[in-house]
Amino acid sequence: MTILVTGSRGKVGSTLVRLLHERGAGVRAASARPEELDLPAGVAAVRCDLHDPATFPAALASADSVFLYAEPTRISAFIEAAASAGVQHIVLLSSSSVLDPGAADSPIAASHLAVEKALAAASVESTVLRPGAFAANALQWSWALKSTGAIDLTHPGSYTDPIHEQDIAEAALAVLTEPGLRGASYHLTGPQSLTFSGQIAALSSAIGHTIPVNHVSPETWKKAMGDYLPDVFADALLSLWAANEGIPTSITRDVEKLTGHPARTFATWAAENADRFRTPQAPTHA
């Protein structure tokens, strides 16, 4: 049995490669830039650029299962190549944003939804993982802290469901290695619905001092992000945060169902990544 893991440079993909290797499963790590992969000894690397169908046949050769990122550009060609290679099962890393009303018109959800629909119409069996907000989304705040010394928030009371990337990888491991879990869709969340203020409080506790926060207008935030984020995505995020202001996110137990343990807390992620939020000028005590 060989499992192809696309996106192996990412946190989820690289963790999944390691977990599969430790399990003794045959795993092949795929990336558009395989030369940049840091892999366990004995794991083969292969080039698979999800924008380039010419890379699909060699990457998929002899693979039984695939862990797939939601890139819609060439999804029809990828599915066709997977079926031709004899792939029996595709696990898609999608997003819980597809569950929101108006997902088809949302720039956040549209790409995930397009891949889900393509797989639903395919002959290859598929399983869909729909995680909520990655805990690592908080890393954008570490960059702000190091450049300005504070974090700008437009909606500090907006709720989200931060999920540890290790839990996503372990959920993928389960559905790739346990046949009885195949063919379903799973909504993966962290164990708590937290506001952005709550997440920053957890990070403050992890680093030992209070992180400064500026409450800014949506217009100010959008202008500051102009060099990094297209307007259409900035507007979508601002609308999402406004809609979730004061409204706790629904939490599921699908992580526990798949992995056998409760989902890791955001505080756990914060403790593991505390050094990334420390700045030279910051105090070292609360």
Domains of the chain: 2-131 (3.40.50.720), 136-160+191-251+264-277 (3.90.25.10)
Percentages of the chain per state (helix, strand, coil), in multiples of 5: 45, 15, 35
What pairing do the DSSP bridges indicate for beta strands 194-195 and 159-160? antiparallel
Kindly give, in sequence order, each residue whose CB lies less than 8 Å from that of residue 275, ignoring residues fewer than 6 positions away: none
Per-residue pLDDT reduced to its tens digit, 119-176: 999 999 999 999 999 999 999 999 889 889 999 999 999 999 999 999 999 999 999 9
**What local confidence, expressed as pLDDT, does residue 228 receive?**
86
What pairing do the DSSP bridges indicate for beta strands 185-188 and 125-131? parallel
**What local confidence, expressed as pLDDT, does residue 122 receive?**
97
**What local confidence, expressed as pLDDT, does residue 284 receive?**
44
The 3-state secondary structure of 171-188 reads HHHHHHHCHHHCCCEEEE
**What local confidence, expressed as pLDDT, does residue 177 receive?**
97
**139: which 2 tokens?**
């890393």
Angle 7-151-241 (CA atoms, 0-180°, nearest 5)? 70
CB-CB contact of 184 with 91 (8 Å): no
Using CA atoms, how far apart are residues 107 and 110, in angstroms rounded to an integer? 5
Per-residue pLDDT reduced to its tens digit, 214-227: 999 999 999 988 88
Q: For all residues of the chain together, what is the average pLDDT?
A: 95
Q: Would you place residue 286 in the very low, low, confident or very high pLDDT band (cuts 50, 70, 90)? A: very low
**What local confidence, expressed as pLDDT, does residue 281 receive?**
55
Q: Which residue has the tokens 């969340």?
A: 189
**What local confidence, expressed as pLDDT, does residue 285 receive?**
41
